[in-house]
Amino acid sequence: MIAHSLSHSVNLSIIQGAVPNDLKSVRVVPLFKKNDKTEVDNYRPVSILCVLSKILEKIVFDQAQEYLTSNKLLYEFQSGFRQRFSTDTFLFIYLTT
């Protein structure tokens, strides 16, 4: 039952090209990094998002990635945000060409 509702919500958001305001809400909490806990600089902000917004983001990312890849719209040496590519991959390609 939840899969049907989840699927409907995600599909509706994609079709309308809009994200519901409830999915845009975020709670930012400080996460301690190191050293003195009384120093503000030793914390970093972490966003706590709604699970549904993360699911929607992943689905849209996967669809966009598939479209760009299957239509060969990415630069062949594009390394950011691609599986099996990294900054190391880019540097290797860049320095060897």
Name residues whose C-beta falls within 8 Å of residue 55's C-beta, 6 or more positions apart in sequence. 6, 10
Is the pLDDT assigned to residue 2 strictly greater than 90? no
Q: Is residue 43 part of a domain?
A: yes
Element containing residue 26 per DSSP (H, E):
strand 26-32
pLDDT at residue number 37: 93
The 10s digit of each residue's pLDDT in 34-90 is 999 999 999 999 999 888 899 999 999 999 989 998 999 988 777 777 777 777 777
Q: Is 6 a domain residue?
A: no
Q: Side chain identity at 82, as an amino acid letter? A: R
User: What's the number of domains the chain is made of?
Assistant: 1
65 in any annotated domain? yes
Is 51 exposed, middle or buried, given 0-12, 13-18 or 19+ CB atoms closer than 10 A? Answer: exposed
89 within a domain of the structure (yes/no): yes
Q: Is residue 8 part of a domain?
A: no
Distance CA 18, CA 16 (A): 5
Range of the domain at 54: 21-96
- Look at residue 93 in the predicted model and tell me its pLDDT: 75
